[in-house]
Amino acid sequence: MSKWIEEELEPGLRAFYGLKKVLNSCQSKWQSVDVVDLECFGRTLMIDGLIQSCQIDEHVYHESLVHPAMLTHACPKSVYIGGGGEGSTAREVLRHASVEKCVMVDIDGDVVRFCKDALPENAEAFADPRLELVIDDAKAVLEKGGTYDVIIMDLDDPLEGGPCYQLYTTEFYQMIKSKLNPGGVFVTQSGQAGSKRHHLVWSPVHSTLRTVFPSVRSYNQAIYSFMDEWGWNIAFLDAAMGTLLTEEQVNQRISERIKGELKFLDGESYRGLFCLSKAHRETLAKETRVLSTEKGTYATMHSQGLCIAES
Amino acid sequence: MSKWIEEELEPGLRAFYGLKKVLNSCQSKWQSVDVVDLECFGRTLMIDGLIQSCQIDEHVYHESLVHPAMLTHACPKSVYIGGGGEGSTAREVLRHASVEKCVMVDIDGDVVRFCKDALPENAEAFADPRLELVIDDAKAVLEKGGTYDVIIMDLDDPLEGGPCYQLYTTEFYQMIKSKLNPGGVFVTQSGQAGSKRHHLVWSPVHSTLRTVFPSVRSYNQAIYSFMDEWGWNIAFLDAAMGTLLTEEQVNQRISERIKGELKFLDGESYRGLFCLSKAHRETLAKETRVLSTEKGTYATMHSQGLCIAES
Amino acid sequence: MSKWIEEELEPGLRAFYGLKKVLNSCQSKWQSVDVVDLECFGRTLMIDGLIQSCQIDEHVYHESLVHPAMLTHACPKSVYIGGGGEGSTAREVLRHASVEKCVMVDIDGDVVRFCKDALPENAEAFADPRLELVIDDAKAVLEKGGTYDVIIMDLDDPLEGGPCYQLYTTEFYQMIKSKLNPGGVFVTQSGQAGSKRHHLVWSPVHSTLRTVFPSVRSYNQAIYSFMDEWGWNIAFLDAAMGTLLTEEQVNQRISERIKGELKFLDGESYRGLFCLSKAHRETLAKETRVLSTEKGTYATMHSQGLCIAES
Amino acid sequence: MSKWIEEELEPGLRAFYGLKKVLNSCQSKWQSVDVVDLECFGRTLMIDGLIQSCQIDEHVYHESLVHPAMLTHACPKSVYIGGGGEGSTAREVLRHASVEKCVMVDIDGDVVRFCKDALPENAEAFADPRLELVIDDAKAVLEKGGTYDVIIMDLDDPLEGGPCYQLYTTEFYQMIKSKLNPGGVFVTQSGQAGSKRHHLVWSPVHSTLRTVFPSVRSYNQAIYSFMDEWGWNIAFLDAAMGTLLTEEQVNQRISERIKGELKFLDGESYRGLFCLSKAHRETLAKETRVLSTEKGTYATMHSQGLCIAES
């Protein structure tokens, strides 16, 4: 049988992935979750029919999300992860020897249970006593109390009608700022960031963060199985921390702080993450949109084209 | 009508591009050539059914191919382009005010004529009196005589049975070396260069060049419409030139030497091109394969998976 | 280039037709029209992205639509065609030597002009002095006046929101009945009629006609390029005419009345059209839905699944 | 997830079936076998990636294959089935009260075991004491001994390199003739039989049978999930039996002989099976190709286009 999974990457662009086998599926209250074996990308986690992470390169995404924030911080002891139910983000966080507590809050308990079983590479992280796993709303839990050295938002894209678009707003970022310890760092995944689509989410998230934090940096990295570059935004309580580390500093901190070998990130990779193209930097410089719950300006999704609805 | 062009990116991975219109087609002696309007990528040149360059991001590819070599050279006056029938490579070369002569040699006169008509953005380049256009074999013409400051190979991938695989070998690179003026620079496109497939062509071309030139650098850049990172290898007659320019040097040389505004490249983009991931650098470090006409070791294509046949 | 046209045949069933060439396209006030060359079906007329008729088997559809009605009539002199802008229905009608006048009323003048140019096999029909071509609403023109021996409705399926669903109702059929001369025959295309989908349009049109005419027969025939059996309903003013002709009668009338050779229809094919499967006849026997403008019960389309909305 | 199974129906024509679930899979010595749940066709048996039979209409195929032969025979007591591992052919045979013994010979024991488990509608047939199931070569077993009232070949198409092409030859049909009791009937599935592709297998099998049997009839029927008409050839030892039964005879014999209700076949459906179009009959009349093991003329498959290789 010639079996395929189809994904619409954008209107007029579809990918077909050769499907070797559906390994495991579940339907949670919130979403449908599948682990499949794809000919091109290996074992792959799909949520609501969209690729979340693939065996061949999930490490590129997760190392890029976690380590720049963790390495920039002087000594991260407490970390908050919003989302991240798959467990890979926690896995990367817990490799940092300094971490004493990692609170991971995902709204979908079924996904977490499912991934615990289906993804053996994260089993150690799920069993780590430093991990405090909470099945609840990432915003509500954070509001309730506690402060952190590093806060990481590993959320879905802000899809129209989805559960997450309110977690990409100036109001949410104000609240996050108030939960960071001095010297704290915040990082959020920020959607596609290649030459065509980086203005959909990545740049408005950047401009929104700039209304809240004294220093913000956007970065991006090609992820083969996402068929585009992906983007993140990192923000610092202390403006001075916005200065990039040197490659040597990165390499030294990795060797001092992180257990095991990273596959993707080191000093030079880190430098590459923050080298943006001329066109990307021009977009950031011109970006004035601010996402706001109050003003009703969200980055929302329209047939997989994300656009800002300004009311 | 729901019209689509299908491309097999690798076994088990197919892309479908929404086809608005076939704008122009021709069948040359060597290949079939089409200019189509794609919903996702705009006006697109396809050769033998594979995307060559797209309106939305051909500048990323061509600026990355041409300007690092041209800007590194002290003052490039004479340039040789092998392939490049589309005209975009010549266009970027001719933006450099120092250039007095640009010899472009493509074997397919029909493609060149077709692109002259179909791609208005390259009309000025084709009309530039400094351009010497030769319809012939890129190797034969170079062997016959002449030396150059910069040599650029903008060839097809070394497909099995294709016309180009002999132009990715140590013997060919020896000949090229002999045609470079002192201080000369050579650069060649080198195929896919993302995390999954950079070992197919990019790294063996690197190791092959290292057998010939005292200094070689590999670099890569995500190209959205190629749905992967793309790779190049640059080689220097003078080992000292292998040291990267600073971002400031790049910006200054661009402003002094290049007519008009670049869209993609500047100092920071240039720096990013040469920041390779840890995994990429490990591949390059371990790569020992040398492509050779004499030894019959080519990088050849097997249903779009390129592999080295070592005899 | 690997070019394809995609058609959704029903939810969960898609066909991809290899596209050799788009031969001609136009956008009328009402619909988009294309003549394409398909690898599997030859030259093909598509309207709004759906296959209308293909070189390899349009004769099966048009001979089945036209000749059973025409041959059953004692001597058809005047014929009314609603729709049929492509010209093939008129072509088959005009092969009958008895015909003195054929009025063809299609709302889309652009389609008619386009098909005149694009479909050479219908040129003779369009030039026939017996053809009276009117660009107008098929219902309005018929209401205005004139009576006919045979009335043929060659309309689009009754798509929700489309122009035709009111032309598949008891009220419309009452009007048609009043425009038939004594001994008159009415036939209408009635959509898909294979084992899975014959209840969507074919059987409710049958039951609706039975509320108006004393004798009605449904028939069907596999059309390869439609990837299903297709259906028609024929109705007679005179109940006695509902008795099928014998195969010999059909063959004799064909030889006496029709110019040239039919490719599909003869006595045995005719017999086959009216041999319905046990399951099809059970559906017809149980069908009680009546389509009515007044009652607001239409056969309408829902993502290509046609269903009856009963208000 | 948007999951699809792709089938190439002919070059330039592909179908995509929405895949709800893979229910069961096995790899036998001979072929890969899957039972899948398709959105459009329900539970479906696929062999080597090609649809074999679907819940929604397998009865149309199997009633058409079995009952015309069984009903024409005066009183079938012994029946031989070559192939038919799925069990549906045996199921239809065993509905005939006259049958005392049904020998079913399929080469692939794994397929038989798999279908026994996966297809509950055939469980009763597999448990019927009159069924003698043999896992072996259908030709070898028949040669060894025994004669039958009805012989049914429910084989794969004669694919090039496949296991079955020698079972569509004059030599094989000679042997079969010798294994029929007086008054015996033979029927074989004969591939696609729509307007485009009925000359590939259906008509050469017809002409081949005519070299062996005094009376042969070809018939066909649209099968929705096969996306074409399908064809069979039936042959009679006694020329007089080639005269079709009347519709009344068929209905009477069904009511006298068959347990339970048929869904597709009755007198009128039977009549329809044997009403061939003018074009089909012309193909049969002109067909002169004879398939022969000795002469090396097979109907063989070329990328799903079946063609006759005449040596």
CA separation (Å) from C113 to A74, C25, C107, C193? 76, 12, 12, 31
pLDDT at res. C161: 65
Q: What average pLDDT does this structure show over C159-171?
A: 81
Residue B302: predicted pLDDT: 46
Q: Give the residue, C293 or D138, on which the prediction is more confident.
A: D138
pLDDT of A213 above 80 = yes
Contacts of A266 in chain B (CB under 8 A): 278
| CB contact at 8 A, D228 and D206 | no
Residues 6+ apart with CB under 8 A from A294: A171
Pairing of strands B305-309, D42-47: unpaired
pLDDT for residue C77 is more than 90:
yes
Question: Average per-residue pLDDT in chain C?
Answer: 93
Do the Cβ atoms of C38 and D269 come within 8 Å?
no
Q: Which of B283-287, C288-292, D72-76 has the lowest mean pLDDT?
A: C288-292
Residue A162 is predicted with a pLDDT of 67
Count the alpha carbons within 13 Å of B80 in the hemisphere toward its beta carbon: 26
Query: What is the Cα–Cα distance from D90 to D103, expressed in whole angstroms?
Result: 9
Query: Measured between CA atoms, how close is D1 to chain A, in angstroms?
Result: 4
CB contacts of A222 in chain B (<8 Å) are: 194-195, 222, 228-229
pLDDT at C307: 46
What pLDDT sits at residue D58?
97
User: Distance between CA D173 and CA D191 in Å, rounded?
Assistant: 17
**D6 reaches A (C-beta below 8 A):** yes
Residues B170, B158 contacting (CB under 8 angstroms): no
Q: How long is chain A?
A: 311
Mean pLDDT of B208-234: 98
Best mutation target among C5, C9, C261, C275 (most D Cβ atoms within 10 Å) is C275
Instruction: Please check whether residue D39 touches A, CB under 8 A.
Output: no
pLDDT for the residue D298: 74
- Alpha-carbon distance of A173 to A207, in angstroms, equals 12
* Residue among B16, B21, B34 minimizing CB distance to C1: B34
- pLDDT tens digits for A79-97? 999 999 999 999 999 999 9
**Cβ contact B233:B221 at 8 Å:** no
Pairing of strands C148-154, C180-192: parallel
pLDDT tens figures, A221-267: 999 999 999 999 999 999 999 999 999 999 999 999 999 999 999 99
- Lowest pLDDT segment from C59-63, C288-292, D189-193: C288-292
Contact criterion met (CB below 8 Å) for B233 and B218: yes
- The active-site residue out of A34, A57, A106, A154 is A154
Distance CA A227, CA A10 (A): 11
Is C53's pLDDT higher than 90? yes
- For residue B271, give how far its alpha carbon lies from the nearest alpha carbon of chain A (Å): 7
How would you label C44-77 residue by residue, b for 16+ Cβ within 10 Å and e otherwise?
bbbbeebbbbbbbbbbbbbbbbbbbbbbbbeebb
DSSP assignments along chain C, one per residue = -EEEEEEEEETTEEEEEEEEEEEEEEE-SS-EEEEEEETTTEEEEEETTEEEEETTTHHHHHHHHHHHHHHHSSS--EEEEEE-TTSHHHHHHHTBTT--EEEEEES-HHHHHHHHHH-GGGHHHHH-TTEEEEES-HHHHHHHS--EEEEEEEPPP--TTSS-GGGSSHHHHHHHHHTEEEEEEEEEEEEE-STTTTTTTHHHHHHHHHTT-SEEEEEEEEEGGGTEEEEEEEEESSGGGGSPPPHHHHHHHHHHHBSS--SS-SHHHHHHHH---HHHHHHHHH-----BTTTTBEEEEETTEEEEE--
Q: Is C19 on the interface with B (CB under 8 A)?
A: yes
What integer pLDDT is reported at residue D204 of this predicted model? 94
Across chain D, which has 311 residues, the per-10-residue mean pLDDT values are 94 96 91 94 94 96 98 98 96 98 95 91 96 96 96 87 82 98 98 95 96 98 98 97 96 98 98 98 96 79 46 40
A contacts of D19 (beta carbons < 8 Å): 3
Scanning every residue of chain B, which has its alpha carbon at the shortest distance from the alpha carbon of C22? B22
**Among A298-307, C267-276, D64-73, where is mean pLDDT lowest?**
A298-307
Mean pLDDT of A31-51: 94
Kind and range of the H or E run holding B125? helix B123-127
- Substitution target from B13, B227, B269 for chain A, most A beta carbons within 10 A: B13
- Residue A82 tokens read as 């919003």
- As a whole number of angstroms, the distance between CA A201 and CA A88 comes to 23
Task: Tell me whether B266 touches chain A (CB under 8 Å).
Answer: yes
Q: Tell me which amino acid residue A9 is.
A: L
D1 touching A (Cβ < 8 Å): yes
Percentage with pLDDT > 90 across chain A: 86
Identify from A227, A255, A265, A274 which residue to disrupt to test chain B contact, counting B C-beta atoms within 10 A and taking the largest count: A227
| Chain D residue with the nearest C-alpha to that of A52 | D1
User: Vertex D220, ends D217 and D222: CA angle to 5°?
Assistant: 175
CA gap A67, B46 in Å, rounded: 40
Burial class (CB in 10 A: 0-12, 13-18, 19+), B256: exposed
Tens digit of pLDDT for each residue in B27-57? 998 889 999 999 999 999 999 899 999 999 9
Assess whether pLDDT exceeds 50 at residue A302: no
Q: Does A36 contact D at CB distance below 8 Å?
A: yes
Q: At C22, is the pLDDT very low, low, confident or very high (cuts 50, 70, 90)?
A: very high
Q: What is the token pair recorded at D28?
A: 């036998």
Nearest-CB residue to C34 (from B1, B5, B34):
B1
Q: Is the pLDDT of residue C310 over 50?
A: no
Burial B12-31 (b: 16+ CB within 10 A, else e): bbbbbbbbeebebebebebb
How large is the ipTM? 0.93
Q: Decide: residue D130, CB within 10 A, 0-12 exposed, 13-18 middle, 19+ buried.
A: middle
Confidence of residue A300 (pLDDT cuts 50, 70, 90): low
Chain C adjacent subunits, 3+ CB pairs under 8 A: B, D
Chains near B (3 or more Cβ pairs under 8 Å): A, C
CA angle D220/D221/D224 to nearest 5° reads: 145
